[in-house]
Chain A
Amino acid sequence: MKLNERSLAFYATCDSPADNAGFLYKRGERHTAYHRRWFVLKGNMLFYFEERESREPVGVIVLEGCTVELCDSAEEFTFAIRFGGAKSRTYVLAAESQAAMESWVKSLSRASFDYMRLVVRELEKQLEEMRWGPAGGCGGCRQLPGSWKPKSSGPERSPERLLALPTVLPKENGCAVWNNEPGADQPPDTSSCGGYDSEGNPRPPPLPPRRRASSSEAGSVGVAAAESTSIFCRLHEQYGQEVARLRQDWLERQCGPRP
């Protein structure tokens, strides 16, 4: 199978930062002798070079759909990268110390694109919930304009309220504080659903198209509400505890110091 090898080699040797680099011993495919190679991990690609100064990698291992495990081997500090599938190879590597082995196993086991994507989606979800609240997105805004109105009057309070988020949360109805639009007492229009960009803030990486589409569906409101209660509850509990503590202190001061 052809690969754009020159581009691959460029990626391996260009000055984009590596996620891990160091010498490892690699066990040969046919012969079980170990060869010392210079390994460079970038993203989900594990490149290896003959020498540290080599201008081109000898090979690359694409770290998708694999597991990284410690080896029970005569050789010290060995670990393996194992792929599923009948024809797939297992790569056996050995580090030069316990610390090096642990560092490599950790960084390799989280190197896949899939893993990165999972974490990104999770954070995206959290951020959306924090910005748009339990109504689950712009679709929710349009359908329930009432719930987006701040309790207090005047749009000029919104920026301050956002800054004062931690102390204000327990007292508010919870919906208003999530709305960071300056004209908060108007139902948000579609431009605000483009989010962040319309306020002139630094552009975030755009959300994948399918998420934008789903956020305007009526059906997503119920589902999103259930999903977002967990983060809501967590924050609510956090600040609730703080309020309880403050209240306790105040009560003690009122009653006078205990004997």
Chain B
Amino acid sequence: MLSEGSSFMKGIALGGTFCLLLSLLGSFTPGMQSSPEDHHNHHHIKAPTKDELQSLSDTQMVELSQRVRVYCVIMVQPSVLVYWFTAKDTWGKHCDHAVFYSSESAKVLEAVDLNEQDEWAKLRKALKHAYDNAGDLRWFFMARSTTFAIIENLKYLVLAKDPNEPFYIGHAMKSGELEYVEYQSGIVLSYEALKRLVNVFKDEEKCPERGRALWKLSEEKQLAICLKYTGVFAENGEDTRGKGLFNSKSVGSLIQDSMDKKTLDVVEGCCSDLAITFSGMSPNQMQVMMFGVYRLRPYGHNFHDSLIFLPPEGSDND
């Protein structure tokens, strides 16, 4: 009886130790997948507060507003032409320069033909092309055409940041030790970051063109690795209250999540007022977003923003 009891206890002890060891070794998170940013090492970029902007002189504001122009790198698939058309007809109009990049050419499609099927290779080529054709644009926003972006809010986020410093911003995720920006919710690169990236592309050791042979990392992680070699780290884009601005889900989906969590104020628990991206919406839903973002509003409520952006010419859905 006693020997059985003690064996039982030994069993428990060993089992517990075994589990603990496993979890420590494999940075095993029970029940969670690649968990979001670790609290301590995490980098955040917060949008400027009203006070910060008001403390700037007028000349400073002029300079800042001259700098904050965005080159949009929009990846399209000829198999889903409707997304190319929708991006062009909706949020793409709000970029200072929107260029579409496709894996192959197709009739009707007005895009740069990368002639490439591999995702990582496409990303490299597109970014290189963007860098070569940047003109005097200093901020780069890369997204798939299935993502919806509010460029004005992006400009607000990076308004006080110097594009001659390296910035790599979006929804920051962590996979093991690697922090990377999620592709699905859009990637923001400053001119300096892109410059360093294009440079490291030439280094086959650090940043191989065809990816590493043994196991294929996703292109968003490859990007993070290459940038890391140049000293550029992923940063999470947030509003002044710390809410994430880059979303990989649609508004409806995020609202539904908030409803499921039974938060007291469903809308508060959902998304930021100055959100930059959403994803997973149909082309029709993107047209409705244009109405929701750029038109629908309650009469008599105003904001004294420090910047004003005029509507693009020749469109009627914004």
A-B interaction:
no
Residues of A within 8 A of B (CB): none
